[in-house]
Amino acid sequence: MSLPFATLYLQAPVTGLGEVLHRQLSLRPDMQLVSPVSAEAVLAVLDESMQKQILTVNKSGRVVEYQLVYRARFKLEQGGTNWIAPTELILRRDYSFDESNLLGKAAEERALLHDMHVDAAQQIIRRLAALKPQLAPMTSVPGK
């Protein structure tokens, strides 16, 4: 699916979701990332956060499973008009926890967070691709 604009400015942090979005959008042949003054549209990542919640505990009260909850808010503007109003994505991932393997579980948590960044970026790009191009108003009729 192609995007309804050829140029885009990405207003996002250089880490996390912003980094993944920048990489994925840069690889698109139908669109170019440019400065805000020459962009047809501005995609802004408003904020993102990650929470780690206890999902289950064993009978001795030790944590057995955690759930990561990732939230990202974004919007798309074109010419001062919100094409996509501020929208929140919420992604969840569960993983088992073993305190005897702390390093391995920390690496798994980082991998899950990266997976959520990729998933969120793909969801945002699909939403951009689903937009219909803005039609320019007709100013004159040829031949009249």
Q: Give residue for tokens 């440019």.
A: 34
Q: Is the pLDDT of residue 63 over 70?
A: yes
pLDDT band at 102 (very low <50, low <70, confident <90, very high): low
Q: What angle do CA 45, 70, 84 make, to 5 degrees?
A: 35
The number of beta carbons lying within 10 Å of the beta carbon of residue 47 is 13
Q: What is the pTM of this model?
A: 0.83
Higher pLDDT, residue 124 or 102: 124
Q: Which CATH class is domain 7-129?
A: alpha beta
Is pLDDT above 60 for 141? no
Average per-residue pLDDT for the chain = 87
Q: What is the pLDDT of residue 134?
A: 53
Q: What is the pLDDT of residue 21?
A: 97
Cβ-count burial 82-112 (b if 16+ within 10 Å, e if not):
ebbeeeebebebeeebeeeeeeebeebbeeb
pLDDT of residue 135 exceeding 80, the answer is: no
pLDDT of residue 144 exceeding 50: no
Residue 133 has pLDDT above 80, yes or no: no
d(CA 98, CA 75): 39
Q: Indicate whether 138 pLDDT > 80.
A: no
Annotate 5-27 with b (16+ C-beta within 10 A) or e (fewer). beebbbebeeebbbebbbeebee
